[in-house]
Amino acid sequence: MEVTLVILKPSAVQRKILGEVISRFEKKGIQIVGLKMMQLTDETLEEHYAHLKDKPFFGRIKDSMQASPVIVMALKGLDAVNVVRKLTGVTNGRDAQPGTIRGDYGMSVQENIVHASDSPETAAIELKRFFSDNEIFNYSSFLLPYLYANDEL
Ligand code: IDP
Ligand code: MG
């Protein structure tokens, strides 16, 4: 099973759609193994969005991610990284497929509701960035036999 990182951005917090977005992951069969609210710092964002630091809009992204606290979540499932990216949709909310979170809830590239790790390697680094080991839980999911066949696990 993989664990991946999702951030519910200020665009989700302010628009009061946290419950709906979290519910989508739950209904898909993804297990929530970590969840907390936090105010992101400049330092964390400069690390998290290092691949964008030379872009002219980098300052705006940082401001946007600090406009309110965010919710960070650790989500577990088979191929969770890929599954969660698919549920999230492409970066630009106007291009994202209807049925995806960005496709259903957003009109913007920047204000696009969620962050999701883009590979297992990135997920491992990002989970460490936002969670300490004792904030990620290992607990039985009693639905497992109804979520997966034995040979998938
Ligand atoms: P991703 O979130 O789909 O993985 P990235 O390219 O990693 O997309 O960009 C990280 C975040 O930076 C995006 O989710 C979006 O909020 C913001 N961003 C990316 N490109 C732009 C842009 O061209 N204008 C404004 N914000 C952008
Ligand atoms: Mg990205």
pLDDT of residue 147: 97
Average pLDDT (70-95) is: 98
Contacts of residue 35, defined as CB under 8 A and 6 or more positions apart, other chains included, come to 71, 72, 73, 74
Please report, for the chain, the start and end positions of each structural domain, with discontinuous segments joined by +.
2-147
Query: Could you tell me the fold of the domain covering 2-147?
Result: Alpha-Beta Plaits (3.30.70)
pLDDT band, residue 53 (cuts 50/70/90): very high
pLDDT of residue 2: 98
Sign for the pseudo-dihedral over CA of 13, 56, 53, 118: positive
pLDDT tens-place string over residues 84-98: 999 999 999 999 999
Per annotation, catalytic residue among 65, 75, 115, 130? 115
Pocket lining: 58 vs ligand 1, CB cutoff 6 Å: no
Average pLDDT (10-29) is: 98
Average pLDDT (67-92) is: 98
Q: What's the pTM?
A: 0.98
115 is catalytic: yes
Atom of ligand 1 nearest to the CA of 115: 2
Q: Report the separation in Å between the CA atom of 50 and the middle of ligand 2, taken as the mean of its atom positions.
A: 10
Mean pLDDT score across all residues of the chain: 98
